[in-house]
Structures are given as C-alpha cells and as structure tokens.
Structure 1
Amino acid sequence: MKRVLAAAALVATLVTPALAARSDPDAELAALLKGRVAAPPVRCISVSPNDNSPIIVSGRAIVWRSGSRLYVNRLRARAEALDDDDILITEPFGSQLCRNDQVRPLSRMSRIPKATLILGEFTPYVRAGAK
C-alpha cells in the first residue's frame, strides 16, 4: 500500500506542472507566438489542404499556419467553448476563410458538435525582422 501511495505521489509531482502549463491558454498562445510580431489584421486568409490543421488554443483563439506566417483568430464570441482537443469543422466558401464565417468545434470524445462560432479578423504574426 505504501508503494502505491508513493507511486501516486510521484506521478502527481511529475504531471501537475505539465497540466498547469497546458491549462494556461495565455501562456500557450504566448509560447506559440514567441519571436513573432503582429502585422495589421486581415479580413480573409487562404486555406489549402496542404496547410497544417488549425491549432486550437483552449478558450482563446484558433491559429492557422500559412508558410512562415501564423494567423491568429480571436473569435467574436464564445471562445470559451474551444478546447484544444476538439476537431474543428470549417466550411469555407471557395479557398478562403473570412471574418464572420462559421466554424464548429467537435468534441473527440462525444462526437457531438458544439455551438457554432463566428470568426473575427485574422491577425498575421511574422518572425521578428522578417518582411
């Protein structure tokens, strides 16, 4: 019994800092944007099947990568519905996602779509010193 308790305490000691870092969306977004500067927001971004999947920052934003740029979209409302383990359902018109387009997060566990979310403007972030 003492070994089980000692093992549980060891696991809690190792896992707790990792969960704390993961659960702070502001820190996660800051780490993702480290070394980058914001450019003026844009209304639309091009998306292609070759681009990486969007990165969901729980409760804060959705980030798309296009080449060396990161485009951060802070949703117009209900960003708290986002979870970094969700699957994002997008239905772009043509090859672009634009402000006011709708997206739906889908919980991996329940496979039930959450409420529709409305995209805001996309803020491009480029590496400091890059043009």
Structure 2
Amino acid sequence: MRTSLTLMLASALMMTSGLASAATDRSPDAQIARATAGRIAGTPVDCIFLRDIRSSKIISRTAIIYEANNGTVYVNRPPAGASQLRDGDVLVTDTHSSRLCSIDTVRLYSTSARMQTGAVGLGPFIPYTKPARNPGH
C-alpha cells in the first residue's frame, strides 16, 4: 500500500513538473530565447530598413521579433503599450520613410474581431546575429 502511494505521488510530481516545464516553454522569455538561439546580441539600433524585414512575430505582452533577410533577428521590447501585444494580432505600420524606427508607433489589429485593438510605441531594436564562422577550423 505504502509503495503504491509513493509511486502515485512520484507520478503526480513528474506530471506537474512536466506541465510546469511546458508552461515555461511558452513563456515570453522562452519564446525570445528560442528565436535568438545560437545568436549573439549586438548593440541596439534605433532603426531598421523596411525592405530588409522578412517577417515579424508578436510575443504576447512582451516584444515584437523582426527577422531580416540576412538572418539577423531584431527584438523590440516596446516601452509603451507592450501589454497590448497579443499572439495572432496583425501589426500595421504607417511610416513616412524607408525605415522602422524606435520613435514609430505600430497599430495592432485583431484578425478575429477585425478591428484595431491597440498600439505600441517601439523601442530600440536589439540585433541578434549568428557568430562568424572560422573557415580554418
């Protein structure tokens, strides 16, 4: 009886630790870590060229990740409105130049409600690049 109770408790602990691990894997920090894995953070920049952006991804309530054509990943943690960021929303950028800058505002639209759900004021873009390969090794 005592052995089966111990086994049940051990099983329950393993299941809850697995659920906690799964929840952690979906955390904003874990999502950003996956997007920047194997890359080195560079000096933050104020602007990136729109023509260089291949894709963007919202990390709920935390950040926007922009992937550039050259493989650089830029992480932007908006200082204003980040709490309005939601997975599945669409970013609408209205710029008056060829660059997206830290002074720009990005509107958020819900695809399900088909209406604007908020706006964020962008911050600096932190570039993450893959380390240079050493051809001699």
TM-score by length of 2: 0.74
Q: Deviations over 1:89-114 (max 9, x none)?
A: 00122210001101011111101112
- Matched letter for residue 55 of structure 2: S
**Corresponding residue for residue 123 of structure 1:** 126
Shift of 1:21: 5.7
CA distance in 1, matches of 2:104, 2:76: 11
CA pair 116-22 structure 1, distance change in 2 beyond 3 A: same
**Corresponding residue for residue 5 of structure 1:** none
Q: Tell me which structure has the larger Cα radius of gyration.
A: 2
Q: 1:62 aligns with which of 61, 64, 81?
A: 64
SS of alignment partner, residue 27 of structure 1: helix
- Matched letter for residue 112 of structure 2: M
Shift of 1:80: 1.6
CA distance in 2, matches of 1:94, 1:123: 20
Aligned: 1:20 with 2:28:
no
Contact 2:47/2:125 (8 A) holds in 1:
yes
**Corresponding residue for residue 86 of structure 1:** 89
Contact 2:81/2:119 (8 A) holds in 1:
no
Structure 1's consecutive aligned runs of 4 or more residues displaced over 4 angstroms after TM superposition are: none
**Corresponding residue for residue 109 of structure 2:** 106
**Corresponding residue for residue 39 of structure 1:** 42
Percent sequence identity over aligned pairs? 36
Q: List alignment gaps of at least 5 residues for structure 1.
A: 1-15
CA distance in 2, matches of 1:122, 1:51: 12
Contact 2:58/2:86 (8 A) holds in 1:
yes
Aligned residues: 114
CA distance in 1, matches of 2:116, 2:60: 16
TM-score by length of 1: 0.77
CA distance in 1, matches of 2:79, 2:27: 20
Contact 1:21/1:28 (8 A) holds in 2:
no
Q: List alignment gaps of at least 5 residues for structure 2.
A: 1-18
